[in-house]
Structure 1
Amino acid sequence: MSDRKIIDLESGWDFMKKGISKLKDLLEGQTEAQFNAEEYMMLYTTIYNMCTQKPPHDYSAQLYERYREAFNEYINATVLPALREKRDEFMLGELVRRWENHKLMVRWLSRFFNYLDRYYISRHSLSPLKDVGLLCFQALVYTEVKRVIKDAALSLVEKERDGEQVDRSLLKKVIEIFVEIGNGDLNDYDKDFEAFLLKATASFYSRKAAVWIQEDSCPEYMLKAEDCLKHEKERVGHYLHPSSEEKLLREAENQILAQYEQQLLDKEHSGCHALLQDDKTDDLSRMFRLFNRVPNGLQPVSEIFRKHIENEGMELVKQAENAATAKKDSSKMKDGSSSTEQFFVKSIIELHDKYLQYVTECFLNSSLFHKAVKEAFEVFCNKAIAGSTSAELLASFCDNLLKKGGSEKLNDEGIEETLEKVVRLLAYISDKDLFSEFYRKRLSRRLLFDKSANDDHERSILTKLKQQFGAQFTSKMEGMVTDMQLAREHQTRFEEWLSENPGKKPGIDLTVTVLTTGFWPHYKFIELALPEEMANSVEVFKEFYEFITKHRKLTWIYPLGMCHVQGHFPSKPIELILSTFQAATLLLFNTDEKLSYEEIKERLNLPEEDVSRLLHSLSCAKYKILLKEPAGKTIATTDTFQFNEKFTDKMRRIKVPLPPMDEKKKVVEDVDKDRRYAIDAAIVRTMKSRKALAHQQLVLEVVQQLSRMFKPDFKVIKKRVEDLIAREYLERDADNPNLFRYLA
């Protein structure tokens, strides 16, 4: 096999130059004749042969250099002159064309010189042919024109921002050059274009915002802001690199929103407060969307929201207070709570519904706005109305909702929904233990006097309270409801026992409700001297109860009893519904025509205050079943009483009311006592686990433990600590009087 003919450098390069010339003509549009397969193979083979000849005829190094020179020569002779004679958009168009041509030239030439890439370049760790081609353009063209094209491109962006139509596809291609010139690295794009774009964006929106804030209302300003941000986002999609989106929007947001937030929110007649005042939910949603984009941008909005709710709530408090004062004597309802206060609770519930809906729909359930609602409601929900605490008002509202004949005419679903809302409001009340006690008192009245409209609703609210505040909160109330069920069963068994023992008939129809002491509110035990008719029936029930249970003691709570007594009046018989005390009083007049105050007191064995209330209800109030001497509206210990034979009424059955007792004072006293025990327990619990603790730390831990049910007073905690020291549960440190130690 004969040796291959040596190709020397110059003759081989002359052949390659012809191919390069044809490529240039193709790029310049001077010929349309493409390279055929034979031409391509000849050019490739020439390079291959010149690189595979034995030294000194291996021209790989020289060809690598001449490859670079071919680009430089073309750029200097053709590309740069063409670019230098054009301006603005025309220059951008020329640059895009030249860049596309350059990439084409790189692709073809790197194919012809491909053998260099495969062996020489990899062996000597040199830049690949493709990179060399790009570096030539970067060094000669990009370096010269980058500032000019950046200015021209930014000018087009600004025109578009001002509403002019621009050639987006041209812009996209120009910006792609900034990206592609880095060959996978965005450094050139970032420093040569994006940095200037961000500066121009800040400047543009700074100018715009300064005008809008003076001329536009808050909603108009926000519409423009939202529109601009939307367009900036679209701009990235149309021609900028995706990496610019966040930075670009941040610049715009900073200038349009962050710089003017407070001014915008405080705008008179159209700022955040006005939008809340006028229920502009769409604008509030937009405000949330916009300021959610700014770091801490929602904080001022939520603060205005909190203040607004607080003001509205305080206004309701003020209105209720004024109305309650005006109607103090005239608008009392049967249960002692005024319609004004019922209306106040309803208004608070409506206010809560309204602003929770705002939080859900306008503020996308943001925890910041939930917190604002909570803080605002905690302020006015803990205000007293006409001397009644919110805890009492809520308990009273529930009572009105759940008792027969309450003023709220709602269907089952409406009652359930309202109960749910009351429980939610209760979360804002600091004295939850006070609510619990008031609620228990009213629940006991509903259950004992058969005033409860629906057992399911009674159980339902207890379930809701239990879920919200724990089993301990409702254990006694649940016990009361269960007790009533057991009491009904006892009554059924009593009636069965009576039918089995005919000789034990009590003489009157008797219904007894047996309760468990620990569940029910504390009721005063009074040893009433029962009239014979009643005493006999009580003895019969005692015998029955001892028969069915062992070692259980019955305590009779007469003040809670009710009696139906048949009054035989000359005009017509009237059925009287009375308390046990009232009935016992009237039965005395079956045997005596006239009795003095002192005689009645002695015969009934009752305290003076109870006797006065009883006699007042029977002789001075609406129904004068007894006649008093001397006549008058107050009871004196010197008065005498007799049966009023002339008494009559249009009804055949009447209920004779007793003047209501002030239960509130008793409830508050009971709660205060329970609180002292709770504080003692919390102090001992804390000290037992810590052994030694400073005064301030102890107070903080006790407050933290108890705040779920009530806010303990610091002075009371201090008193309880002193008491526990006296009872030798704790001691003061000998060297530091502010340090306490637990005594095991």
Structure 2
Amino acid sequence: MPPASSSTTSSLAASMPPPNSDLETTWRFLEEGVDHIMTKLQTGVSYSKYMSLYTVSYNYCTSSRMHGNAESGGLAARTGANLMGSDLYNKLTKYLVQHLKTVRDGAENLVDEDLLQYYAKEWDRYTTGANYINRLFTYLNRHWVKREKDEGRKGVYTVYTLSLVQWKQNFFNHVHNKNQKLAGAVLRLIEKQRNGENIDQTLVKKVVDSFVSLGLDESDSNKQSLDVYKDHFETPFITATEVYYTKESEAFLAENSVSDYLKKAEERLKEEEDRVDRYLNTVTRKTLISKCEQVLIRKHSTTMWEEFQKLLDFDKDEDLQRMYALLSRISEGLEPLRKKFEEHVKKAGLNAVEKLASGGDGAADESIDQKAYVDALLEVHTKNSETVDRSFRGEAGFVASLDKACREFVNRNAATGSSSSKSPELIAKHADALLRKNNKVAEEGDLEGALNQVMVLFKYIEDKDVFQSFYSNKLSKRLIHGVSASDEAEASMISKLKEACGFEYTNKLQRMFTDMSLSKDLTDQFKEKMAVSHPEDSDLTFTIMVLGTNFWPLTPPNVNFVIPKEILPTYSRFQQYYQQKHSGRKLTWMWNYCKNELRTNYASQKYIFMTSAYQMAVLVQYNDYDTLNLAELVQYTGISEDILKQVLSILVKARVLLHDGEGEPYDLNPSYKSKKIKVNLNQPIKAEAKAESTEVLKNVDEDRKYVIQATIVRIMKARKTMKNQALIQEVISQISARFTPKIPDIKKAIDTLLEKEYIERVEETRDTFRYVA
């Protein structure tokens, strides 16, 4: 709609020409109105006058009468209506050219902000007027312009677009092309803002938006080209940006710390992002930010990489976050950081264990405390894991660096020496301590969290089969001796291991619990039977555990144990009962895992001694003898001399037996006294504990041979034929989740399978094998 006005101005006083008026009469009336709109629109135009202008334009364009003095512009052969449109279009074009010459003259001596103010003011006035004029000549646009364009005539536009074309040719090009006068003024204003001065951002936006509006697609007026914006503003703007930040960044780093520079670069990048949002075209964002990243980050990336270690060493979290955020913006910017971080974590882990290990010569320390060891590893992992989450946003590359470093120092450190089995052994023993009764962690209710921490380290263990063997061994002891913190905790840990390694890894562990449940039922059934058939033995408490050989890592004792007569009847009755219940099964009695409670009748105070089976076998001999020497005890118990000596030393140390030295007999102490009524004499024998570790590792080595062989057979069965090197790599790939197989062991397994005729060499080749079905 045109601006409303209650009165017409004198410049619009001319009366409306009648229909079919000639071009000169028509244009004289129209030119007066157009000029008022373009120069004095602020004074208003009445609705009636605006409609008069519209009607005159419409009447002339629809007139079919030919006018001899028409400005045909080379279109003399056209019909009347077409010719009318052409004449009017040409008149309007000439007016715009003349009008813009006057506007251009006003800008002649203006520079910088004065020029921009003038340009913006005239642009607003001109484009507003052009919009109104465009509507005045609606019929011209809708019919004549459209028909000309449909017929392929170049250089014909709608009236508004024509106005922009003329502005560009007759004002913009003259003002701007004079030493890049216009763009230069904008760039100097932007530089002022970068230097901290306040500027009129609305002014900049108006001028910049005009650059965009002047981008006209000559083939399609409905499309907009950004050529003017890019050529006349964006290109010099990007160049100026590069020059500005190159100079500033170099000067800033010469006088300030890297930490301060990180803040400065972060602020500058944010400012440039904000600049695009406030007054630049969005198409500039990618080019501008890319250029800023190149100048502010890439050119100084080496300096940042060199500073990274200091930031890690002094836990400068905020600086690390900034450095990560900046370097993540450029390709390969983070890779040097990831490598340095990996070395940092690895060094921290090795140093933490070094403090625990005695000597520091790389030899494994047998006496190292497993809790202290695990705590040291976890402390390093936790601290650096938090750094990854907090400073590096949990980025996958840094997570991988953390994992790689942890895998290295968890498996090879001052406590492990050259042994790859030491770390899984210590971690398994720590898990055992957590899952036992009277453990402080269990009592404080944070057992689940502690087990989760064990699983953190378990993830990094390379020889998971070693952990499995030690864990299985310790679990069997907890179950046999009834010292588990809770069944729920045991089930939780097995569930975690199953989730990490699969069903096969925990199958035997779960079968142990099944055996325990079946054993409880078996004991109850046996007791019920004995209560009826042998009520005289009701004061003898008896619990049995029948454990499957394939699922329990128990080693039968290498002794000819003489079963004491005190328990022989019960032993024989159960042996008979079980054979009747399960014909064909063989029972192997694990005396080295049995425990007993004995009541004393000889001392002034009655005590209950909690003993091992071997201690019980020794003590019950004193029901018949007052004094016994070592040879007699070996004869009566069947226990080997080396083990018996350790059994006796515990009893002597507890003052239950008296012994004056080598070669002297062992006497029962009639004056035995203790503050406790229930005395635990069942202490572990050192030789057995050491032999346990040796036995576990021996079993692991044996199991590995069969795992490698089974894996080779499985692969060859699927592939039928394979070359030697490919087979070795495939075996390593499939087994590495459980342990890292050694190539000589794989070759030995291949030779074994060749001998057993599971595989064979392909004829006329030395390095290709075929599966033998």
| Superposed pair shares fold, TM > 0.5 | yes
* Distance (whole Å) between structure 2 residues aligned to residue 519 and residue 256 of structure 1: 64
The alpha-carbon deviation at position 316 of structure 1 amounts to 1.0
- How far 1:273 sits from its partner (Å)? 2.5
The question of 1:153 aligning with 2:163 is answered no
**1:308 aligns with one of 326, 329, 344:** 344
In structure 1, what is the Cα distance between the partners aligned to 2:286 and 2:728?
Answer: 49
Larger mean CA deviation between 667-676 and 553-562 belongs to: 553-562
In the alignment, the residues of structure 1 paired with residue 143 and residue 200 of structure 2 have an alpha-carbon distance, to the nearest angstrom, of 45
Counterpart position of 1:655: 681
**Equivalent position of 1:545 in the other structure:** 578
Contact 1:569-1:648 within 8 A present in 2 as well? no
Once the two structures are TM-superposed, the CA of residue 80 in structure 1 deviates from its matched residue by 1.2
The 3-state SS of whatever aligns with 2:482 is: coil
1:355-392 C-alpha deviation (Å, 9 max, x unpaired): 22222333222222221221111010102516671101
Alignment deviations for residues 222-267 of structure 1 (CA, whole Å, 9 cap, x no partner): 2112211221122122211122223222222221122212312323
DSSP-derived class of the 2:116 partner:
helix
Structure 2 residue 55 is matched with structure 1 residue 15:
no
Which stretch of the first structure deviates more once superposed, 200-209 or 12-21? Answer: 12-21
> Secondary structure of 1:565's match?
strand
* Equivalent residue in structure 2 for 1:365, among 385, 388, 394: 394
In the alignment, the residues of structure 2 paired with residue 391 and residue 75 of structure 1 have an alpha-carbon distance, to the nearest angstrom, of 87
**SS at 2:231 equivalent:** helix
What secondary structure, in the 3-state scheme, does the structure 1 residue paired with 2:358 have?
Answer: helix
C-alpha deviation, 1:484, in angstroms:
2.2
Note the residue ranges of structure 1 that are not aligned, 5 or more in a row.
330-336, 633-638
Residue 139 in 1 paired to residue 164 in 2?
no
Distance 2:771 2:729 in 1: 17
Paired AA for residue 314 in structure 1: L
Q: What letter is aligned with 2:407?
A: E
- Matching residue of 1:70: 95
Give the match's secondary structure for 1:564: strand
Report the secondary structure of 1:381's partner residue: helix
Cα distance in 1 between the residues matched to 2:584 and 2:539: 27
Matched residues in 2 for 1:716 and 1:167: separation? 78
Instruction: Give 1:669 shift.
Output: 0.8
- SS where residue 260 of structure 1 aligns? helix
SS in 1 for 2:394: coil
The 2-side partners of 1:657 and 1:419 are apart by: 27
CA distance in 1, matches of 2:360, 2:597: 36
Moved more, 381-390 or 429-438: 381-390
Bigger mean CA deviation after superposition, 695-704 or 255-264: 255-264
In the alignment, which of 522, 533, 538 is matched to residue 490 of structure 1? 522
Question: TM-score under structure 1 normalisation?
Answer: 0.89
- Distance in structure 2 (CA, Å) of the matches to 1:286 and 1:124: 60
2:265 aligned partner: 225
* Contact 1:404–1:451 under 8 Å retained in 2: yes
1:89 aligns with 2:84: no
Q: Which range moves more in the overlay, 641-650 or 411-420?
A: 641-650
The answer to whether the aligner puts 1:689 opposite 2:718 as a matched pair is yes
- Whether 1:295 and 2:335 are equivalent positions in the alignment is no
- Name the structure 1 match of 2:51: 41
Question: In the alignment, is the contact (CA less than 8 A) between 1:80 and 1:141 conserved in 2?
Answer: yes
For residue 437 of structure 1, give the secondary structure of its aligned residue in structure 2.
helix
Q: CA deviation at 1:593?
A: 5.7
Deviation track 1:640-698 (CA, whole Å, cap 9, x = no partner) reads 74434467353553405352222111111101111111111111111111111122211
2:551 to 519, 534, 538: 519
The separation in 2 between residues aligned to 1:127 and 1:224, in whole angstroms, is: 49
Query: What is the CA-CA distance between 1:292 and the residue it aligns to?
Result: 2.7
1:582-621 matches, within 5 Å, as: 582-592=615-625, 597=630, 599-607=632-640, 609-615=642-648, 617-618=650-651
Deviations 1:549-577 (A, max 9, x none): 45433221111111233455567665433
Distance 2:290 2:556 in 1: 71
- Out of 466, 470, 475, the position equivalent to 1:443 is 475
3-state DSSP of counterpart to 2:107: helix
Partner of 1:471: 503
Aligned equivalents of 1:203, 1:163: Cα separation in 2: 17
Q: What is the aligned length?
A: 715
Question: Are residues 450 and 6 of structure 1, via their aligned partners in 2, closer, same or farther at CA, if it must alter by over 3 Å?
Answer: closer
Match of 1:480 in 2: 512
1:143 Cα deviation (Å)? 1.9
Q: 1:398 aligns with which of 416, 423, 431?
A: 431
SS at 1:693's partner residue?
strand
Distance in 1, Cα, partners of 2:167 & 2:362: 90
Q: Distance in 1 between matches of 2:257 and 2:210?
A: 42
Give the partner amino acid of 2:683.
P
CA contact (8 A) 2:363 2:416 kept: no
Q: CA deviation digits over 1:621-643, x for unaligned, max 9?
A: 56572647xx33xxxxxx57443
Corresponding residue to 1:643 among 667, 678, 682 = 667
Name the Cα RMSD after superposition: 2.8
In the TM superposition, 1:705-720 aligns within 5 A as: 705-720=734-749
- The separation in 2 between residues aligned to 1:143 and 1:5, in whole angstroms, is 40
Structure-1 residue corresponding to 2:6: none
Q: SS state of the match for residue 266, structure 1?
A: helix
1:164 to 2:197 alignment: yes
* Structure 1 residue 188 displacement after superposition: 1.6
Residue 542 of structure 2 is aligned to residue 510 of structure 1: yes
Q: Match for residue 210 of structure 1?
A: 250
243-252 or 507-516, which moves further after superposition? 507-516
Kindly provide the amino acid, as one letter, of the partner of residue 643 in structure 1: D
| Deviations 1:523-555, CA, capped at 9 Å, x for gaps | 125442212222222012223334554543322
**Separation of aligned partners in 1, 2:335 and 2:518:** 55
1:657 and 1:413 mapped to 2: Cα distance?
Answer: 28
Match of 1:259 in 2: 299
AA partner of residue 753 (structure 2): L
Q: Which residue of structure 2 aligns with residue 422 of structure 1?
A: 454
- 1:16 partner amino acid: L
Amino acid paired to 2:565:
E
Find the residue that maps to 2:283 and give its secondary structure: helix
- The code of the aligned residue for 1:698 comes to L
Please identify runs of 4+ aligned residues in structure 1 that moved more than 6 A: 323-329
Match of 2:128 among 88, 101, 104: 104
Moved more, 235-244 or 610-619: 610-619
Q: 1:195, 1:673 → 2: CA distance?
A: 73
SS in 2 for 1:405: coil
What is the CA distance between 1:594 and its match in structure 2? 6.0
Matches of 2:363 and 2:736, distance apart in 1: 35
What is the CA-CA distance between 1:46 and the residue it aligns to? Answer: 3.1
SS of equivalent to 2:596: strand
Q: For the Cα contact (< 8 Å) 2:427–2:467, is it kept in 1? A: yes
- 1-structure distance, mates of 2:321, 2:671: 69
Report percent identity of matched pairs: 29
* Displacement of 1:279: 2.6
Aligned: 1:194 with 2:234 = yes
**What is the CA–CA distance in structure 1 between the aligned matches of 2:312 and 2:341, rounded to whole Å?**
8
User: Given the two structures, how large is their TM-score scaled by the length of structure 2?
Assistant: 0.86
What are the within-5 Å matches in structure 2 for residues 528-543 of structure 1? 528-543=561-576
- What one-letter code is carried by the residue in structure 2 that aligns with 1:493? Q
Q: Which moved more, 1:496-505 or 1:344-353?
A: 496-505
Q: 1:348-359 alignment to 2 at 5 Å?
A: 348-359=377-388
AA at the equivalent of 1:200: A
Query: Which residue, 146, 157, 182 being the options, matches 1:127?
Result: 157
Label 1:735 to 1:162 Cα distance change in 2 as closer, same or farther (>3 A): farther
User: 1:625 maps to which residue?
Assistant: 657
Q: Deviations over 1:191-243 (max 9, x none)?
A: 22112212222221111221232322232222112211221122122211122
Q: Deviations over 1:467-489 (max 9, x none)?
A: 22212221211222232233233
Task: Select which of 269, 273, 277 maps to 1:237.
Answer: 277
Does structure 2 conserve the Cα–Cα contact (< 8 Å) formed by 1:106 and 1:130?
Answer: yes
CA distance in 1, matches of 2:746, 2:362: 39
Shift of 1:733: 2.6
Moved more, 415-424 or 113-122: 113-122
